[in-house]
């Protein structure tokens, strides 16, 4: 078993960036505990998330040609029990580290984050309930951001613009369900794309992003520029659906670049 590949190192960036963004926006004070929790959202958290995910995605993963290299591995059934134990231990470690903050909000938010991530992949498997699968990703974003935010501010006073930012996550996640359309369809996995079709999924994603952009609630020009890029690529994919995989990779790269710029400008 290659636990490092299982944890999808490329996604560590996403978790770390969102947590750090919350910490910076919430004006938290740098400390050893912050650094420990930051590190916990790399390998341990990713191992928990994707370990559980790969156990319950076993059937569809067998049909998925993407399951190699940076996008995970095809987990053999004989390893399921061991991986589940290891994943739960990794999740427990993430929660344990949050206790050292002695911050009730941080602890509760970390626990809620782990719970949502668990039921996203494990029964009741939110990822197989169209719309709710994408909404739960928006909730995950809010919770992870809030964990970082709680270091310096009250997470229950989050600015309403953060909920619009979460809607961006919902839209992008819905769009990514197109990527696994074929294996999900064969494995009878219900996602936005398999239930409502690829084009409908793109249209819904576009509608959400346009709503966020036109609402004017997002003040950051960096985030607005990213929204415009998403809208452009999604619109093109309506006519060239075979480019979706390339566009999703591009959106990930620009997310990392944009997030780095956002943190630098905010600091």
Q: For each of the chain's 267 residues, which pLDDT tens digit applies?
A: 688 888 888 899 999 999 999 999 999 999 999 999 999 999 999 999 999 988 887 777 666 666 565 565 666 777 788 899 999 999 999 999 999 999 999 999 999 999 999 999 999 999 999 999 999 999 999 999 999 999 998 888 888 889 999 999 999 999 999 998 888 888 888 899 999 999 999 999 999 999 999 998 898 899 999 999 999 999 999 999 999 999 999 999 999 999 888 888 776
Angle between helices 161-176 and 198-215 in degrees, nearest 10 = 160
CA-nearest of 193, 207, 185 to 244 is 193
- CA–CA distance, 174 with 121 (Å, rounded to integer): 16
- CA–CA distance, 179 with 80 (Å, rounded to integer): 25
- CA–CA distance, 229 with 208 (Å, rounded to integer): 14
Residue 56's pLDDT is 87
Long-range contacts of 42-45 (CB under 8 A, 24+ apart): 42/12, 42/15, 42/16, 43/4, 43/7, 43/9, 43/12, 43/90, 44/90, 44/91, 44/93, 44/94, 45/15, 45/90, 45/91, 45/94
Residue 264's pLDDT is 81
| CATH class label, 1-154 | mainly alpha
Sequence spans of domains, the chain = 1-154, 159-267
Residue 71's pLDDT is 61
Residue 156's pLDDT is 80
Angle between helices 161-176 and 132-149 in degrees, nearest 10 = 140
b/e code 35-51 from CB counts within 10 Å (16+ = b): eebbebbbbbbbbbbbb
Residue 1's pLDDT is 63
DSSP H/E element including 63? none
Complete DSSP assignment for 107-135: HHHHHHHHHHHHHHHSTT-GGGSTTHHHH
Decide: 25 and 266 in contact? Cβ < 8 Å. Answer: yes
Residue 20's pLDDT is 95
CA-nearest of 142, 208, 223 to 175 is 208
- CA–CA distance, 94 with 110 (Å, rounded to integer): 8
Residue with tokens 């999740």: 91
Measure the N-to-C terminal CA separation of the chain; round to a whole number of Å: 40
């Amino acid at each position: 078993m290659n636990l490092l590949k299982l944890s999808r190192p490329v996604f560590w960036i996403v978790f770390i960036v969102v947590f750090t963004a919350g910490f910076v926006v919430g004006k938290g004070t740098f400390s050893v505990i912050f650094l420990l929790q930051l590190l916990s959202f790399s390998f341990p958290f990713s191992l928990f998330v994707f370990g559980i995910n790969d156990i319950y995605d076993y059937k569809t993963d067998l049909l998925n040609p993407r399951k190699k290299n940076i996008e995970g591995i095809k987990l053999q059934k004989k390893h399921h029990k061991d991986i589940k134990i290891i994943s739960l231990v990794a999740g427990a470690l993430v929660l344990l580290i949050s206790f050292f903050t002695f911050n009730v909000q941080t602890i509760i938010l970390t626990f809620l984050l782990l719970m949502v991530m668990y039921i996203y992949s494990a029964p009741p498997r939110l990822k197989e309930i169209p719309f709710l699968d994408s909404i739960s990703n928006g909730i995950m974003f809010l919770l992870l951001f809030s964990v970082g935010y709680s270091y310096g501010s009250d997470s229950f006073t989050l600015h309403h613009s953060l909920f619009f930012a979460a809607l961006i996550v919902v839209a992008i996640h819905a769009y990514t369900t197109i990527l696994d359309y074929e294996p999900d369809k064969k494995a009878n996995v219900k996602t936005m794309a398999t239930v409502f079709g690829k084009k409908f999924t793109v249209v819904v994603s576009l509608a959400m992003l346009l709503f966020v952009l036109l609402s004017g609630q997002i003040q950051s020009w960096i985030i607005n520029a990213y929204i415009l890029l998403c809208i452009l690529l999604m619109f093109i994919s309506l006519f060239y659906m075979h480019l979706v995989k390339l566009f999703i990779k591009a959106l990930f790269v620009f997310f990392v670049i944009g997030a780095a710029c956002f943190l630098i400008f905010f600091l």
